[in-house]
Amino acid sequence: MSSNPLQGAQFVLAAHRINQLPKDEGAEVAFAGRSNAGKSSALNALTGQKGLARTSKTPGRTQQMVAFSLPPIVLGEALPLLEARLIDLPGYGYAKVPDALREHWRHEIDRYLHQRHSLRGVVLIVDIRHPLKEFDRMMLNFCLDTELACHVLLTKADKLSRSQASQALASLRKELDTGAPVTVQIFSSSAGTGVEEARSAVRQLLVGNGGKRSTFI
């Protein structure tokens, strides 16, 4: 087994609607976040492939749901291999897109989160320098309401001092101390901070709960 559980990720397709995504089986983790939070850079760092997800100085370039396949995960000798994927959801926020397209993605993301049976968890990308935005809170509340596991990456930690980053982490953990399945960590794709921890967290999301999604409340 590779030391990086996400190594070998490959682009599969980009979907405009959820019915264009790969067959709804196996396990997948969705990456969500505002357009300028560093989602593509985080995906590239986690998979160890600089060009896997598109990065741009112009926020909001991801305007489709992008599916990446992972090598099948070994769960145990007597268990079948687990087919696994990462789904990059459209960035939300500063993207300069028409209102109709913005509304389309709001609707499709909502459908994806509610209807996708293979979805095991969400990795929420949040810029550590800023407080939670409306979209961040909406995503967290959805995960809380549906008991869907969520792992928050506080990105761009290299832009703060170590003490400032630690304070931001402690503050958010205190705010989210609700007993819900939400975990938080410091992360920097450029400095490599927290990359190994995040890789382990994503793998745990994929295989946790026996590979099954929690039941809605």
**Can you give the residue range of the structural domain that contains 138?**
10-211
The answer to whether position 4 is within a domain reads: no
Give the angle subtended at the CA of 70 by the CAs of 66 and 180, to the nearest 5°. 75
**In a domain? residue 82:** yes
Q: For a pLDDT cut of 90, what percent of the chain falls above it?
A: 63
Residue 78: predicted pLDDT? 86
Q: How confident is the model at residue 2 (pLDDT cuts 50, 70, 90)?
A: low
Residue 150 lies in a domain: yes
Task: Judge whether 58 lies within some domain.
Answer: yes
Integer Cα distance of 187 and 127 in angstroms: 9
How far is 179 from 147, CA to CA, in rounded Å?
A: 11
Indicate the number of domains in the chain.
1
Q: What is the pLDDT of residues 132-186, one digit of tens each?
A: 998 899 899 889 888 899 999 999 999 999 999 999 999 999 888 766 679 999 9
In a domain, 3, yes or no: no
* Residues 88 and 9 sit within 8 Å (Cβ to Cβ): no
DSSP state, residue 210: G
- For residue 6, the SS3 value is coil
1 within a domain of the structure (yes/no): no
Residue 61 lies in a domain: yes
Q: What is the pTM of this model?
A: 0.90
State pLDDT tens for residues 117-147. Answer: 999 999 999 999 999 998 899 899 889 888 8
Can you tell me the distance from the alpha carbon of 212 to that of 142, in angstroms, rounded to the nearest whole number?
Answer: 18
Domain assignment present for residue 216? The answer is no
The domain spanning residue 173 has which CATH number?
Answer: 3.40.50.300
Distance in angstroms (rounded) separating the CA atoms of residues 188 and 153:
9
What digits encode the pLDDT tens for the residues 91-106? 876 456 677 877 888 8
